[in-house]
Structure 1
């Protein structure tokens, strides 16, 4: 995931504060709740972009909606984003914060492509094996079903891809046969 130039600064400030207070996980959960509400209600596009809604009204909406649902720090971030006319970078802030919090906890995000949906046990096994390879304490796996890989797995952790899919093996065999290098 790429760093958003503005969103990363806000995310890092939230991360620094949460790390000092020992609330990395709670802050991430709060940010994800806010992000999900914004996504579900389409508040950014339909509500906050309307020219007749003032910043004070936006702040009141956010305070009323989130004052009892999220920490005061997350609420203050939202109000600051309204003041600075930066509420549109909320999603990049959440993504960048998640990346920082996961890195601090030794957690990585992994995408696993398979020909069929993986069971919970299969995901746990894959997470255990590839967490060691990636040098992480834990992997959060997102399983994507892609029937074109025929069988096997394709695991992506950050920029590293482990491709053990049947389609990749067939492509390598084909390349070797075309180039006349069948000894491998």
Structure 2
């Protein structure tokens, strides 16, 4: 079974617990901290993946490092240790956040542009695409990419809206080539 499928199962379980207790925002904040710790501390990953370290030692270490998180977040981490699945922590966090956002009508978008977008431009993109996607809120992450030349490329989930000059030129070229045949 792939890691993403397994991560989704853990995320669904934690999401259902959080929904039942109405603490999804708290769980998201905690999971983002957990994710940052795992992302930025390579020695932690090495320690937790070391077969010579007992699961009891790993659990005790996790309890001490994440002593301020909720019982639900801590229990999820401890369960991942029991199941030898600490390698899916990042995927589980991403899946949880995606589920939480979806349940609240929120989507994340990466907007690639040649320069930093102004607040007005960002707001216009949010309004247009939130309506188009039938969601409440669109969170925009602006990524400056000088190779774009002009226009925008927007990625929301697995959908890509490409209005860059480069893509428009390719389409024009294809039309000209097929028209000349």
Q: TM over 0.5: same fold?
A: yes
Residues 109 and 154 of structure 2 are in contact (CA less than 8 Å); yes or no, is this contact kept in structure 1?
yes
Structure 1 residues 3, 120: closer, same or farther in 2, change over 3 A? farther
Looking at structure 1, the residues matched to 155 and 3 of structure 2 have their Cα atoms a distance apart, in angstroms, of 18
Structure 1 residues 156, 3: closer, same or farther in 2, change over 3 A? farther
Looking at structure 2, the residues matched to 53 and 119 of structure 1 have their Cα atoms a distance apart, in angstroms, of 51
What secondary structure does 2:49 align onto? Answer: coil
Residues 10 and 93 of structure 1 are in contact (CA less than 8 Å); yes or no, is this contact kept in structure 2?
yes
Match of 2:72 in 1: 73
Structure 1 residues 51, 162: closer, same or farther in 2, change over 3 A? closer
Aligned-pair CA distance for 1:124 = 2.7
Structure 1, gaps ≥5 residues long = none
Show the 5 A alignment for 1:93-112. Answer: 93-112=92-111
Aligned-pair CA distance for 1:107 = 0.6
Looking at structure 2, the residues matched to 61 and 123 of structure 1 have their Cα atoms a distance apart, in angstroms, of 43
Residues 148 and 167 of structure 1 are in contact (CA less than 8 Å); yes or no, is this contact kept in structure 2?
no
Looking at structure 2, the residues matched to 159 and 81 of structure 1 have their Cα atoms a distance apart, in angstroms, of 28
Show the 5 A alignment for 1:36-51. Answer: 36-51=36-51
Match of 1:32 in 2: 32
Match of 1:165 in 2: 164
Structure 2, gaps ≥5 residues long = none
Looking at structure 1, the residues matched to 141 and 94 of structure 2 have their Cα atoms a distance apart, in angstroms, of 15
Match of 1:179 in 2: 178
Aligned-pair CA distance for 1:43 = 4.1
1:11 aligns with 2:11: yes
* 1:45-97 C-alpha deviation (Å, 9 max, x unpaired): 321122332111111111111112x1111011111111121111111111111
Point out 4+ residue stretches in structure 1 off by more than 6 angstroms: none
What secondary structure does 1:4 align onto? Answer: helix
CA RMSD of aligned residues (A): 1.9
Aligned-pair CA distance for 1:44 = 4.6
What is the total number of aligned residue pairs between the two structures? 179
